[in-house]
């Protein structure tokens, strides 16, 4: 192996080590729950539709305030002493989109994309603010142009999320549930549904796993995603009145030991 190649690998390893250490530190700090976590939401117009444009320009922080309320109520249920765990702030509408995730499933491509994504997020924060612990980029799409959205994602332990949402007033509740779900990924919460069927996993993905009879469930567990109606069916929650944070998720984000 040439000296140059060895050096290049060494530098790459160093960068990864630094990123890993920084991530571990921020992960620890973001889940100590001694001050509210500030989450910056950046709306992005995701297509050429005039409807999407109008929808995004009309957004205000009030459209997202129920995310704060959800975490307030749920943290209280778990006896957290911090009364407001999450503070949502609205960043400016961005006219650029985050780096697209890799289409191939390779570790190197994923690592490269994740580094790019962090660098991009850092640049946005530096250029536009607002100061925040976590950034979520929300790309809005006109439902008339596409009925299915790309997958949203929260960089586990990366403090960044990318959410695909519908530019439609009737979808505001569902959009916010997805934002809250991806936000929890950034804190290290894991998915609690079967990726092949989208059905919540029992018991961790159930909001009330002890309920008798078990079906139909009344709520969705936020990381389980949907409300189980029977062993093989589940429905999407319409908003936070139908969503809870389950015990397993609460443990992952260190609300309980
Ligand atoms: Zn997820």
Cα of 11 from ligand 1 centre, angstroms: 32
Q: Is residue 16 part of a domain?
A: no
154 and 123, same structural domain? yes
Evaluate if residue 19 carries a pLDDT over 80.
no
Residue 150, pLDDT above cutoff 90? no
Domain boundary among 135, 162, 188: 188
| pLDDT digits 0-9 by tens, 167-220 | 999 999 999 999 999 999 999 999 999 999 999 999 999 999 999 999 999 999
- 55 shares its domain with 143: yes
One domain, residues 170 and 87 = yes
Q: Ligand 1 centroid vs 111 CA: distance in angstroms?
A: 18
Question: Cα torsion for 197, 198, 202, 206, to the nearest 10°?
Answer: -150
pLDDT band at 36 (very low <50, low <70, confident <90, very high): very high
Count the neighbouring beta carbons within 10 Å of the beta carbon of residue 106. 9
Question: 153 C-alpha vs ligand 1 centroid, how far in Å?
Answer: 6
What confidence tens digit (pLDDT) does each residue in 88-102 have?
999 999 999 999 988
pLDDT at 241: 95
231 C-alpha vs ligand 1 centroid, how far in Å?
A: 21
Residue 113 lies in a domain: yes
What does the pLDDT read at residue 9?
81
For residue 77, is pLDDT > 80? yes
Q: Ligand 1 centre from 5 Cα, in Å?
A: 37
Give the range among 22-31, 55-64, 110-119, 188-197 with minimum mean pLDDT.
22-31
Strand (E) or helix (H) holding 116: helix 107-128
Q: Are 86 and 68 in contact (CB under 8 A)?
A: yes
CA of 158 to the centre of ligand 1 (A): 14
Query: Based on the domain organization, do 172 and 75 belong to the same domain?
Result: yes
- What total of structural domains would you count in the chain? 2
Check pLDDT > 90 for residue 12.
no
Beta bridge partners of 233: 230
pLDDT score at 5 = 83
Selection from 181, 205, 180, 211 nearest residue 192 by Cα: 205
Q: What is the pLDDT of residue 40?
A: 97
Q: Compute, in angstroms, the gap from residue 188 CA to the centroid of ligand 1.
A: 11
Q: Name, of 1-5, 30-34, 48-52, the range with top average pLDDT.
A: 48-52
Question: How sure is the predictor about 105, in pLDDT bands with cuts at 50, 70 and 90?
Answer: confident
Q: How much distance in Å is there from the Cα of 131 to the middle of ligand 1?
A: 25
* Same domain (yes/no): 54, 82: yes
Ligand 1 centroid to residue 233 C-alpha, Å: 19
Spacing, Cα 152 to ligand 1 middle (Å): 8
Residue 140: CB atoms within 10 Å: 27
**pLDDT the model gives residue 115:** 87
> How many Å lie between the centroid of ligand 1 and the Cα of residue 2?
42
pTM: 0.90
For residue 182, the CA-to-ligand 1 centroid distance in Å is: 6
* C-alpha of residue 7 to centroid of ligand 1, in Å: 37
Please report the pLDDT score of residue 151 as a whole number.
87
How far is ligand 1, taken at its centre, from the CA of residue 147, in Å?
Answer: 20
DSSP state for residue 102 in the 8-state scheme = P
pLDDT at 39 over 80: yes
The answer on pLDDT for 79 being more than 90 is yes
Could you say which of 188, 207, 241 is where a domain stops? Answer: 188
- Which residue segment(s) compose the domain that 55 sits in? 36-188
- DSSP class of residue 94 equals B
Q: Does a structural domain hold residue 4? A: no
Task: Provide the pLDDT confidence category of residue 4 given band limits of 50, 70 and 90.
Answer: confident
Q: Tell me, what's the pLDDT at 110?
A: 84
Average pLDDT score over residue span 215-244 = 96
Whole-number Å distance, alpha carbon 223 to ligand 1 midpoint, is 6
- Judge whether 72 and 85 are in contact, CB under 8 Å: yes
CA of 237 to the centre of ligand 1 (A): 15
């Amino acid at each position: 192996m040439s000296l140059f190649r060895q050096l290049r690998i060494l530098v790459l390893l160093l960068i990864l080590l630094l990123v890993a250490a920084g991530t571990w530190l921020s992960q620890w700090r973001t889940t100590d729950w001694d001050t509210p976590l500030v989450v910056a939401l950046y709306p992005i117009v995701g297509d050429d539709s005039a409807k999407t444009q109008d929808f995004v320009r009309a957004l205000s922080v009030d459209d997202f305030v129920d995310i704060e309320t959800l975490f307030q109520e749920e943290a209280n249920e778990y006896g957290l002493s911090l009364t407001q765990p999450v503070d949502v702030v609205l960043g400016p509408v961005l006219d650029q989109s985050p780096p697209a995730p890799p289409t191939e499933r390779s570790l190197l491509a994923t690592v490269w994309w994740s580094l790019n994504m962090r660098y991009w997020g850092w640049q946005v924060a530096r250029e536009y603010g607002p100061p925040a612990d976590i950034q979520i980029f929300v790309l809005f799409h006109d439902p008339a142009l596409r009925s299915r959205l790309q997958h949203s994602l929260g960089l586990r332990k990366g403090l960044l999320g990318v959410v695909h949402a519908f530019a439609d007033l009737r979808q505001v509740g569902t959009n916010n549930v997805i934002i809250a779900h991806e936000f929890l990924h950034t804190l290290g919460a894991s998915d609690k549904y079967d990726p092949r069927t989208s059905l919540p996993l029992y018991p961790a993905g159930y909001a009330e796993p002890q309920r008798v009879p078990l079906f139909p469930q009344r709520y969705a567990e936020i990381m389980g995603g949907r409300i189980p109606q029977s062993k093989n069916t589940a429905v999407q929650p319409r908003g936070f009145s139908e969503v809870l944070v389950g015990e397993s998720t609460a443990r992952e984000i260190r609300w309980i030991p």
